[in-house]
With several copies, the nearest count.
Chain A
Amino acid sequence: MSPALTAAGARDWLQRFATAVDEHAADLTDLDRPIGDSDHGVNLQRGMRAVLAALDAADPATPGAVLLKAGSTLVSTVGGASGPLFGTLLRRTGKALGDAESVDAAALGSGLRVGLDAVTALGGAQVGDATLVDALAPAVESLEAGGSVTEAAEAAARGAASTDELVARKGRASYLGERGIGHRDPGAASTALLFAALADGDGAGAS
């Protein structure tokens, strides 16, 4: 993301994320098996396919509009906990980006902060509760602190890994208590994929 994120760049990002979700759908669902209900990969896959179709149909003009459209599509196609949460993240981030034709990493970080806050307001999870917030928050903080998208992706990955040793306090996994220790949170893992997809586009610009 040396060249700032344009509408096309935002679509490429989501396209790469969708590809990653397709590739890892079984893994994400498997993460959801021991501590949840074995559907996280299926849920996101259904959602991201709908997102790509919706973006093709609507062809939004700005990165903000791309994320807004993607977010509302997730809300109306995913269901479960992850639909409203991922959907709200992208919708609110998109709204916060406003009409800008393109945004740099710092601006994206400020937008994502709005999205993150909406996610914590909606779901009530804090860092350490073993949810997607554990991957999302450090990534957003890294961007806010001037980090690159690659650094943000690394922070998200570390955050996702940190859930391995945590007792979940939100979502389905929380019902397992101590039995959940030793398992990675599926939503944190998919959030890490979202930021990895962002970093993968770095330097590729709008290509």
Chain B
Amino acid sequence: MHVPTKLLDDPADAVTDALRGLAAVHPELTVDLEHHVVSRNHDHFGDHRPGKVGLVSGGGSGHEPLHAGFVGLGMLDAAACGAVFTSPVPDQVLAATTAASSGGGVVHVVKNYTGDVLNFQMAAELADDEDIAVETVLVDDDVAVTDSLYTAGRRGTGGTLFVEKVLGAAAEQGMALAEVAALGRDVVARSRSFGVALSPCTTPGSDRPGFDLEPGEMELGIGIHGEPGRRRVPVPATGVAREVARTSVAAIADDMPLDGEELLLLVNGMGGTPLLELQVLAGDVVAELTARGARIARALVGNHVTSLEMAGSMVSVCRATPQLLQLWDAPVRTPALRWGA
């Protein structure tokens, strides 16, 4: 199977080089190239706020703009960037936690993968040694994993964006540590995602993609690490986007009733699917959701939580409340999400 030419210098340095590039175009961010930690440049933002709850996330790289692209005013204070598809080590998470700490404690937003969970847990212990109070919000929004008892549990995927935006606004507005964490768990409980791959992706330096997909096949129920999904099915001859929308929304609605709900919606590209196609999918997803009695309160369409150059999509929804909408609408200024500032 064909491995795409990558616009990199040395595959082994992909993450370092990408962070150097981020630093070069975002003076409002501080990039620690030793720890691969991106944090707010408080001098640039003028947002020195003693006692503000710090918001930290992180994970493997390859999901850009998640997480480093969501660092800034009204969202994350710091992100720890692991190797591609490999969770960061505790030292990195600790460095991010220290950078984010202003005395009010720090919330860790952790996607539910064994590696992320274990490394953040160890980092939280190290932070405790330094008297930084840490609360953890575990994101497990992926409905493709239905048998949580027999697995590592649902994965953290597109819903992570809702959590990071909403908690970022809450922390900015002065909410205290325990409340931010509780709010985060509530956002997780209200969020669901389902992903589909139309092509695999290849980790930099590898000579083969994560899986082989014959033309005319697609993988349903994927995570965000280029791994195969839960099920492989044929691509329909026409109505591909409708079928993807139907399958994704049905999987979500079977798990969480949508009738009468106001939704935050993310129609997310996995990295290699062009916006023309994501817009077609967005139309079909909105039609499916509306047919189930839901109303779209806010929507984002684009590449937000990706798997390198994988083609495909992830549909994520969050059942909104007036409070969540207010926090969603609050100003945000990050490389990848920006409004009102």
Contacts and interface: CB of A to CB of B under 8 A. Distances in A.
Interface of A: 29, 33-39, 42-43, 46, 75-85, 122-123, 167-172, 174-177, 179
B151 A38 contact: no
Nearest to B114: A81
B89 A75 contact: yes
A170 to B, nearest CB: 6
B173 interface: no
B13 to A, nearest CB: 13
A37 B227 contact: yes
B37 to A, nearest CB: 14
Contacts of A170: 114, 151-152
Query: How many of chain B's residues touch chain A, expressed as a range?
Result: 35 or more
Please classify the interface of chain B as helix (H, G, I), strand (E, B), loop, or mixed, using the class held by over half of its residues. Answer: loop
B114 A79 contact: no
B83 A79 contact: yes
A37 B85 contact: yes
Contacts of B85: 37-39
A176 B210 CA distance: 14
13 contacts: A37-B225, A37-B226, A37-B227, A39-B203, A76-B90, A79-B86, A79-B88, A83-B119, A84-B122, A123-B118, A170-B114, A171-B114, A172-B225
Contacts of A43: 83, 86
Contacts of B226: 37-38
B152 A79 contact: no
Contacts of A81: 87, 113-115, 118
Given A37-B85, A39-B203, 6 more contacts: A38-B208, A39-B85, A42-B83, A81-B118, A175-B155, A177-B147
A33 B152 contact: no
Interface string B174-218: 000000000000000000000000000001011010110000000
A187 to B, nearest CB: 10
A196 to B, nearest CB: 25
Given A169-B150, A177-B147, A177-B230, A83 B89 contact: yes
